[in-house]
Amino acid sequence: MSLSPVTHQRRIVLLDLDGTLTKSDPGIIASARKAMQRIGVPVPDMAEMRRFIGPAISESMRRNNVPEDRLDEAVAIYRRYYSDEAVFEDPLHPGHKVPGCLANSVYPGIPEQLRRLREQGFVLAVATCKPEYQARPICEHFGLDRLVDGIYGASRDSSRITKDRVISYAFDMMSFDKASGDRALMVGDRWTDADGARLCGLDCLGCGWGYAESGELHDH
C-alpha cells in the first residue's frame, strides 16, 4: 500500500506492530517453540522466548543455536505454524483454533488512540520487522488496516528484515521528503525500534506496555 504524493508537510507516525499495537506473544512463542522442537534444538526458557518478539525470526533462531544449515528450514516451519496451521487457542474465542498470527489481541485503547491521532492530522503507518505478507492479514483481522494509512514490513526473501530497512522502505513507498518539511517519529517497544529509528535519523517514542526488558529502551 502506498500513499499518493502530497504537497503539504506531513507529520508521520510509524508504528511497530508486535508489542505496540498488538499483544502477540502467545502465537509467536508457540510457533517458535514448535519449529525448534521439529528441528531438534532445545527450547529455551520463557524469558528467552519472549526475546523472539521484535527482531526478525531468523535472528532469534540463530541466537538460540539453530544450525546455519537448518536455519531456512526452521524459519519455514515457524512461518507455516504462524500463518497457516490452525492449531493454537484463539485468546478471544476459547475453543476455536487459529494459526499463530491470530493467537493475538489488540491492546486496550489502541483503536481509540489511532482514531484520535488521525483526527489531529497525523499520517499513521505500521512499520514492522514481521514479513509484510503476515502483517497485512493481522491488521485486517483486527481492523487496524482501516485506522492507518499504510502497512509496511519485512520482505519474504529476508532481503529487508531490520527495522532501519523497513523504515527506509516505508519512506520510499510514502514518498517521504524531509527537505520539503515532512517529519516522522517511530513508536515501538523494543531496542530494534530505537536503533532502527536512530539509524534513519528519527526520534523514537518507547511504549512501556510491550516486550522490552527492564532498562532496554532507556539503554537504546
219, three cell numbers:
539503554
Q: How far apart are CA 213 and CA 208, in angstroms?
A: 10
Distances 141 to 15, 98, 174, 202 between C-alpha atoms, Å: 17, 12, 23, 30
How are beta strands 105-106 and 183-188 bridged, if at all? Answer: unpaired
DSSP 70: G
Alpha-carbon torsion angle 172, 175, 180, 186, nearest 10: -60
pLDDT in 10s for each residue of the chain, 220 residues: 555 554 569 999 999 999 999 999 999 999 999 999 999 999 999 999 999 998 889 999 999 999 999 999 999 999 999 999 999 999 888 899 999 999 999 999 999 999 999 999 999 999 999 999 999 999 999 999 999 999 999 998 889 999 999 999 999 999 999 999 999 999 999 999 999 999 999 999 999 999 999 999 999 9
Say if pTM beats, i.e. exceeds, 0.85.
Answer: yes
